[in-house]
Each structure stands twice: as structure tokens, then as C-alpha cells.
């Protein structure tokens, strides 16, 4: 039984990529907080605490690489910057987002019944559907009260 980090190292090796200290630090950051959505700049700030010499472009390149390998998922919530989250292999795609319009908090939820809808739309339109994204926008419990 080897840890998630070991698996990732192998995934990288298979593509002739190395698990450098910078990459390891970034992967660890996401493994430590499996539920967070971090922007490149947030990652940069966190990592710099341990690796002060790291460059922002290394962060961008690493995030892109990890997203290509399917280890991270790149999300665009439209605030002019992308965010990344750990892509749990066992969770499949049954995980979507609930976004607070006031404080920006993001929660996850698992919807049911999207598959049938997906099939119906595919049949109707001739599209081959490969992925989907469902988002609900609103006010979280805290922000609803403060209104």
C-alpha cells in the first residue's frame, strides 16, 4: 500500500515528468485540504511559506500539468481567475458546486438524476456528451441571515 503521493509520482514518471520539491509541495497542499478550491495565487502564497524561492510561473505550470494528468480539476467561477481542486478518482463526476453570491464560499453537493437528462439531451441534439457542470448560485446560511 503506497500513498497517494507515490501514485502521483508514478503517474508523472510514466510521462517522463519528475516529482520535484516544488511539485511535491503543491500536491501536498491539495492533499492536506481536499475540500478547498485554490487559485494559482493562493497556492503561490501558501507554498512560499515553505519554499520562498518558488516562482509563480512554476505554480502555473504545475497546476496545468496536474490538471492534464487528472489529479486536479480546473474550475472557472468567472471572477477573472481560475481555481483548482483535488479531483478524487473515486468520486467520479457526481460532485458539483453551490456558490454564495455574497461571500464567495463554495460548497459541494451530489445531484441525482443528471444521467437521464444527459441521455435525453444527447438523443435530441446529436451531441456526444463527455462532461457536465451544474452550479447553483445563491446565499449561504450565514449570508442569508446578515441580509
> Is the CA virtual torsion 117, 122, 123, 128 positive or negative?
negative
Q: Does 127 bind its own copies (CB under 8 A)?
A: yes
- Piece of 37-45, 89-97, 104-112, 127-135 that binds DNA (CB under 7 A): 37-45
Q: Does 57 bind DNA (CB under 7 A)?
A: yes
The whole-angstrom separation of Cα 69 and Cα 64 is 9
Smaller CB separation from DNA, 61 or 93: 61
CA atoms within 13 A on the CB side of 109: 12
Q: Does 123 bind its own copies (CB under 8 A)?
A: no
Smaller CB separation from its own copies, 88 or 101: 101
Report the relative pairing of strands 38-39 and 106-109 from DSSP bridges.
Answer: unpaired
Write out the binding residues for its own copies, residues 86-105 only, by CB under 8 A: 98, 100-101
- In which residue are the cell numbers 503521493 written? 5
The whole-angstrom separation of Cα 27 and Cα 50 is 13
Report the relative pairing of strands 38-39 and 96-100 from DSSP bridges.
Answer: unpaired
Smaller CB separation from DNA, 53 or 90: 53
Contact set with its own copies (CB under 8 A)? 76, 78, 82, 98, 100-101, 107, 109, 111-113, 117-118, 121-122, 124-141, 144
Amino acid at each position: 500500500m503506497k500513498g497517494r503521493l507515490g501514485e502521483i509520482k508514478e503517474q508523472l514518471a510514466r510521462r517522463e515528468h519528475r516529482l520535484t520539491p516544488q511539485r511535491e509541495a503543491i500536491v501536498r497542499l491539495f492533499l492536506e485540504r481536499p475540500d478547498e478550491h485554490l487559485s494559482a495565487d493562493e497556492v503561490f502564497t501558501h507554498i512560499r511559506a515553505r519554499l520562498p524561492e518558488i516562482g509563480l510561473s512554476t505554480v502555473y505550470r504545475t497546476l496545468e500539468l496536474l490538471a492534464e494528468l487528472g489529479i486536479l480539476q480546473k474550475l472557472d467561477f468567472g471572477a477573472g481567475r481560475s481555481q483548482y481542486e483535488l479531483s478524487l478518482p473515486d468520486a467520479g463526476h457526481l460532485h458539483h458546486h453551490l456558490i454564495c453570491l455574497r461571500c464567495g464560499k463554495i460548497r459541494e453537493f451530489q445531484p441525482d438524476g443528471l444521467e437521464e437528462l444527459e441521455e435525453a439531451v444527447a438523443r435530441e441534439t446529436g451531441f456526444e456528451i463527455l462532461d457536465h457542470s451544474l452550479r447553483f448560485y445563491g446565499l449561504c446560511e450565514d449570508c442569508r441571515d446578515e441580509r
